A and B are shown apart, each in its own frame.
Chain A
Amino acid sequence: MDFELDDDQRELQRAVREVLDKECPPAYVRRIVDEGHDPTDLWDTLTGLDWPALALAPEVGGLGMTWVDQAIVLEELGYASAPGPFLATCTQFAPAVHQVGTADERLRFLGPVARGERTGTLAFDEGSGSWDPSDVAATAVAGEGGWVMAGTKEFVVDGDTADEVAVALRIDGELRLAIVPGGDLDAEPIDPIDPTTRHARIRLDGVRIDDDRLLGAGDATHALRSALEESVTAVALTTVGACQRILDLDLGHVKERHQFGVPIGSFQAVKHKLADMYRDVERARALGYFAALCIAEDDPRRGRAAAMAKASAGECQRRVVQDGLQLFGGIGYSWEHDLHLYLRRAKVGDLHFGTSSRHRRHIARLALGGS
């Protein structure tokens, strides 16, 4: 067991931080939040640096780096509250296609991702909040020389902007994955609490898909569950990053801000809040990287680890968002201060892909010997 980044990974972390400091500073995030700026320019920069290809397999043109390397990128994207298609494309669409698709299908749909030409997402949940394959009810039936879908998908990340949408649906009761061009779908974006993370509702009713866009063969429940472990871990890691940003902002603030003639960071009520925030960030980060490591090594603990990563990230943001805002006093309550850019991102991390509580209950059931 060696549970620390190696020198190359530290270097990657440093390089990623440097890029995002320059390309996605608070002022950039503010343009997204305030003006609805389209983050395609940032995506162009990141694809120019091959970021989408990092963790993709060499067979599809990826760089074949490990999931731990990808974890580093994800944490930093959260730290910067970076908008754009990375999360949905690389941690939702790509794992789903990889897990369910044949070698040819992977090449067809992930090759363009590796080259930075196409984005994607995964349309999965239907509003039950479970994010579990067994709750997928959307269907497709044979017709019009292909398949015709029925149902509605909720909370699809980048659902109205992704080039390709991987839709989980049932055919004769079996769970399958269809890759549908975004342009064919009726997607309705929701007004987001965090404009750097956009969701849409997608109505599938009557939309036709070609036969060769139905991936793999047979029931994909197991494969999609594995893919979701990656998606869940990715959301957890970006949440940890956002929480670390909030903690850093707070630490800077309490050392600078004076009241009663001393820095407010010298008050014990303030110190203990920060010590607890630190504990929760460290706890969640440890579990996030453990899940990444289990995925990288395809260890049997990966499902439990992913649930723990997501649950602990949720617990972390709960404290860090609350106390992190409180410790700023009035300036934290202003629109003008950058703090809320990261508060939004941290909170959103808990809300999608299964709440913290849901994942905790799952973990407990595993310990009690249930399913």
Chain B
Amino acid sequence: MQLRFDEATEAFRSKFVAWLDANLPAPSTTGERPTSSAGVPSWSRAFQRRMFDDGWLVPGYPPEHGGRNAGLSEQMVYFEELAGRHVSRSLNPQGLGIVASSIIEFGDDDQRRDYAIPILRAEITAALGMSEPGAGSDLAGLTTRAVPDGDHFVVNGQKVWTSGAHDADMLLAFVRTDPDVPKHRGISALIIDTDTPGLECRPFPDLMGPDHLDFNEVFFDDVVVPRRNLVGDLNDGWRICTGALAHERAMLWVLWSEGLDTSIADLVRCVGDTPLAEDDVFLDRLGSLLIDAEALRLLGYRGLARLQRGLVAADQSLLKLMGSEGQRDVALLALDALGADALDQRKGTSVFQPWGANRGDASWFDRFLNSFAGTISGGTSEIQRNIIAERVLGLPRG
């Protein structure tokens, strides 16, 4: 156990800090907002491309994939520096974090060249088509059907909640290719261009407001997808869905940690030297949230240390649970404590960050609602608790 990283890792950090200092876009250029989680403004695309070209986009990857073969500690300090500056590598998070990394890990060279690298270089954006009206937590129950037909598949069915699909160039869609085997064994992953005839995206507003369009229903009506767009083997899609994203996942907690720290800092700023700062009940609850934030970071570091020792870091569910529920709890405390001061929808609660989720003008109620994006998407909190109970604690499946 040690509080500090070794010298080589700190040297890596310094190198990255120097790069950031020289390359972060000027604030005057970063005003344009994304239109959705796949509708990325040009300044952010340009920055992402520069990161790729200079080997700083995914440091753990080899140079041809936008990295520099960095080790785990190096990747860790890299994420620390990004988080400390509230910089996101991409404003198409599912494209960079899930779609491109899945194609790199499971796809073939052509798919890497035609899709993964363009996503990494922000030339195209991607959406993730997993959930369906009848398949949410029970993702393996998905029914969107892809029937092999010569050198292509014919796809029929529907996805829903597909973030950013209307702005995305492609989907990574999970489809049923064999309906006659147990449900996990009949799923495949397909790359589908969103301009393919028969594919229709219908965006619909989410809880953040009637003009906040990120969600989509995506309909497939005899959509013809070339066979070469099959990622991995036929009927092997479940593997891609689940454990596959290990290397990137191991660091994703940093985003949770950053989000939680930021929420707490915003709340502390809102409280300032108001009488709340002397209120025992408020202080008691704030203290607990500060512990949540510190514990999340420490458990993240522990996961890293375990990976470095060649052990499995089984605690991604725990980190996701703590990070997402922590952010909800901060917003809840803000609402509880501020009372009528929280009524004004336009009273800013945060500082504008170019890569942030809002302009700094979100109310605490918005932020409370928004926190449920964390506790619902990517496996709900209940599902995370099931995973902890069954896979970490070894309890029998019920």
A159–B231 Cα distance when bound, in Å, is: 70
Contact with B along A360-371 (1 / 0, CB 8 A): 111111011010
Residues of chain B lying within 8 A (CB to CB) of residue A266: 395-398
Contact partner of B288 (CB less than 8 A), chosen from A255, A294, A360, A370, is A360
A287–B299 Cα distance when bound, in Å, is: 9
Known: A268-B398, A311-B288. A276 touches B301 (CB 8 A): no
Shortest CB distance B297–A (Å)? 9
Residues of chain A lying within 8 A (CB to CB) of residue B280: 361
Contact partner of B302 (CB less than 8 A), chosen from A251, A274, A286, A312, is A286
Interfacial residues of chain B within 1-33, with CB under 8 A of chain A in the complex = 1-5
Residues of chain B lying within 8 A (CB to CB) of residue A367: 264, 268, 286, 290
- Is A299 an interface residue when CB atoms closer than 8 A count as contact? yes
In the complex, residue of chain A having the shortest beta-carbon distance to the beta carbon of B288: A360
- Is A65 an interface residue when CB atoms closer than 8 A count as contact? no
- Is A359 an interface residue when CB atoms closer than 8 A count as contact? yes
In the complex, residue of chain B having the shortest beta-carbon distance to the beta carbon of A269: B398
Residue pair A308, B398 in contact (C-beta under 8 Å) = no
Stretch at the interface among A1-9, A12-20, A214-222: A1-9
Residues of chain A lying within 8 A (CB to CB) of residue B290: 308, 363-364, 367
Contact partner of B291 (CB less than 8 A), chosen from A2, A263, A265, A360, is A360
Residue pair A362, B390 in contact (C-beta under 8 Å) = no
Residue pair B322, A263 in contact (C-beta under 8 Å) = no
Known: A255-B396, A272-B389. A357 touches B302 (CB 8 A): no
Residue pair B288, A315 in contact (C-beta under 8 Å) = yes
- Is A282 an interface residue when CB atoms closer than 8 A count as contact? yes
- Is B393 an interface residue when CB atoms closer than 8 A count as contact? yes
A279–B390 Cα distance when bound, in Å, is: 14
A3–B1 Cα distance when bound, in Å, is: 5
- Is B321 an interface residue when CB atoms closer than 8 A count as contact? yes
Interface residues of B (CB under 8 A from A): 1-5, 76, 264, 268, 271, 277, 280, 282-288, 290-292, 294-295, 298-299, 301-302, 304-306, 308-309, 315, 318, 321-322, 382, 384-386, 388-390, 392-398
Interface residues of A (CB under 8 A from B): 1-6, 9, 68, 251, 254-255, 262-263, 265-268, 270-272, 274-276, 278-279, 282-284, 286-287, 289-290, 293-294, 296-297, 299, 308, 311-312, 315, 357, 359-365, 367-368, 370
* 10 tightest Cβ-Cβ pairs between the two chains A and B: A360-B287, A4-B305, A271-B389, A266-B398, A3-B301, A286-B298, A364-B286, A364-B283, A275-B385, A283-B295
